[in-house]
Chains A and B, each alone.
Chain A
Amino acid sequence: MAEVLRRAPAGTAAGTARRRPRRPRLHVAVFVAPFFLAFALFYLAPIGYAVHQSFFRLTSSGLGLSEPVLEFAGLGNYATALTSPAFAASVGRVLVFSLIEVPVMVVAALALALLLDSARARFRAFFRVSFFLPYGVPGVIASLLWGFLYVPQTSPLIDVLAAAGLPHDFLSPQTILLSIANIATWQFAGYNMLVLIAGLQAIPQELYEAARVDGASEARIAWHVKVPLVRAPLILITVFTLIGTLQLFVEPLVLKPLTTAITSDYTPNLAAYNQAFGQADIHLASAEATLIAVMAFVISLGFLRLVNGKGNRAW
């Protein structure tokens, strides 16, 4: 990933490297240090600690009435995770989920951003808040909420679908992944839309004006001017959605009590959570979390290689 991401802020390095700053660059340290200090303390340290923990295990003996012993496990926890059929199945499940959710999310976020950014749009403030609002609904409530909308006894949605001749069971093993994808889209499309809008706003207005003067329609401007210019944020939300889907956690956790189709290790992250919070095995949980991170790293790296390999190296 390092090599590919290095090109991210393309041009910056080339643009400014020629001019050498005049003074010793204390100010750079002052700008950068506070963030990195906090990042090291509150991100890197716990990650390092977790990785460290993943190489140990607690073992007891006999009935387990005496104090457990902490012993070095080498890659033992990793082997346990990787050889577990349930963990492997959960990895396969999130991969399928990514294939569904990533395109849906990116298209939805882009469509919303372009619609809102269109010169034809009205009531932008209202729509922007409406789309973003689900992101602010806490998980506890999402549970109750979708519980009501997905369960036949209480759902107005199912009544409407049935009346339209489209009976649907949101919670069956066949449909549950799509129902989860719906919740994820509902919660995060507005968030991703905002990232794209922030990108669209960094584009100088003159570019649009020029296109309009040339008589281009709004749709043409959107497709030929705006989309290429938000390529970087588009790739960003794709990568973030990809990572988010591989870490899929809240939605299945929330729906789990409602359906027989979701097990306690439905996704790798749910399995890690259950190890850490349920079975108090922080060691195996850390190994599983590390594996999730490695998987996300490899897949997002692969994706970046793919998009950056197509000639255009803007990102």
Chain B
Amino acid sequence: MVSVEAGGGRAGRRDRAGGAGGATTGPAHRVQPATVVVLALLFAAAVYFLLPVVWVLVAATKSTADLFGTFGLWSPRPQLGANLGRLFGTGDGLFGRWVLNSFLYAGLGALAATLLSAAAGYAMAKYPFRGREALFNLVLAGVLVPSTVLALPTYLIFSQAGLTGSFWSVLLPSVVSPFGVYLARIHAHAAIPDALLESARLDGAGEYRIFFRIGLKIMSPALVTIFLFQFIGVWNNYFLPLVMLSDQRLYPVTLGLALWNSQTFRDPAFFELTVTGAAVSALLLVLTMASLQRFWRAGLTAGSVKG
């Protein structure tokens, strides 16, 4: 991962410089009609995807009464400060803990999942071995069983090991990403030339060194994608923490928000907490994604330079 980040800084700068040059303020050449069409389509799509998100942000500034009583995209009596105060104040700062937990579960889980998937996918792309395809098919078949029903069996197995209720009970299952293995294998196969590995071997590099120095670097766009998918997958995971955890202080933010949402039934003031909490957690997720973009871009250029 270190190599990815190192590459990230470098290419990130390059990207920003390039972006400034190529955007609307760009140099003398005039904007072509095809560009306008592409941009118009992209903007229309962005409106479709963002409008509901804007709704959440607006809703976060409302009281419960206004939430149901006023137009969805306008807040006549904004009270964001009060909502935020209550959000972080309720239950001795429970919300802050939940967010921190989510970052730990998602961050550590996705990091481990990325590394495990990269190693397995790389090995499956670059080394033929007996049973390889059978294993690979098993991985793909793993996604056929709906995970909603698997939470309870997982709980029963974990309680044999005395792991239920702990931080580990949510973190450990999060390190598996069958999809990550698939993506890593496809990407390693397409993007890492065998000749490059061969020449590294001729230079005397060991297989581990080759993987960490060359493999990971070239695969970095796929790795960032795997990390992103797994991060969000774990962030949004609901049923596993639901059955595993009993201590509120270990809850991730989705489970905490679901708990609050269920309490709106008895105390409608929880609507404000739920919606504001959702907006804050969505914003944090956006910031995380945006910061990952840089590494993502970096990997792209790093990969193409090598290729």
Contacts and interface: CB of A to CB of B under 8 A. Distances in A.
Q: Do any CB atoms of chain A lie under 8 A from CB atoms of chain B in the complex?
A: yes
Contact of B49 (A11, A131, A272): A131
B120 to A, nearest CB: 4
B78 to A, nearest CB: 18
B34 A17 contact: no
B149 A134 contact: no
A41 B116 CA distance: 14
A138 B73 contact: no
B208 A144 contact: no
B205 interface: no
A112 B253 CA distance: 30
Contact of B154 (A46, A128, A137): A46
A106 B191 CA distance: 24
B149 A35 contact: no
B6 interface: no
A53 B56 CA distance: 42
A88 interface: no
A36 to B, nearest CB: 7
B148 A141 contact: no
B137 A1 contact: yes
Interface in B110-129: 116-117, 119-120, 122-129
Contacts of A286: 149, 153
B297 A186 contact: no
A276 B152 contact: yes
B129 A28 contact: yes
Contact of A198 (B42, B138, B173, B187): B187
Given A9-B186, A21-B127, A198-B183, A144 B274 contact: yes
A217 B235 CA distance: 41
A28 B124 CA distance: 8
Q: Most chain-B Cβ atoms within 10 A of its Cβ — which of A27, A127, A149, A201?
A: A201
A131 B52 CA distance: 12
A122 B120 contact: no
Contacts of A116: 42
B278 A140 contact: yes
Contacts of B35: 120, 122
Contacts of B124: 9, 32
B148 A269 contact: yes
A233 B186 contact: yes
Nearest to A232: B186
A97 interface: no
A132 B289 contact: yes
A132 to B, nearest CB: 7
Q: Most chain-A Cβ atoms within 10 A of its Cβ — which of B145, B176, B183?
A: B145
A11 B207 CA distance: 22
Contact of B119 (A32, A39, A155): A32
Interface in B253-307: 253-254, 257-258, 261, 274-275, 278, 281-282, 285-286, 289-290, 293, 297, 300, 303-304, 307
A115 B40 CA distance: 10
A201 B186 CA distance: 12
A296 B229 CA distance: 22
Contacts of A41: 172
A16 B197 CA distance: 11
Given A232-B186, A273-B148, A140 B293 contact: no
Contacts of B232: 135-136
Q: Most chain-A Cβ atoms within 10 A of its Cβ — which of B139, B152, B179?
A: B152
A2 interface: yes
Nearest to B201: A22
B82 interface: no
A191 interface: yes
Contacts of A130: 45-46, 49-50
A141 B276 CA distance: 10
B146 A247 contact: yes
Contacts of B245: none
A139 B120 contact: no
A288 B146 CA distance: 10
B157 interface: yes
9 contacts: A30-B208, A34-B120, A49-B153, A123-B42, A126-B46, A138-B253, A139-B236, A148-B72, A233-B186
Given A132-B228, A194-B225, 19 more contacts: A21-B127, A27-B208, A34-B116, A34-B120, A35-B116, A46-B153, A49-B153, A111-B41, A120-B38, A122-B39, A133-B53, A133-B285, A134-B49, A137-B53, A140-B274, A195-B183, A202-B303, A219-B34, A289-B148
Interchain residue pairs A-B with the least CB separation, the first 5: A31-B123, A35-B120, A289-B149, A46-B153, A141-B278
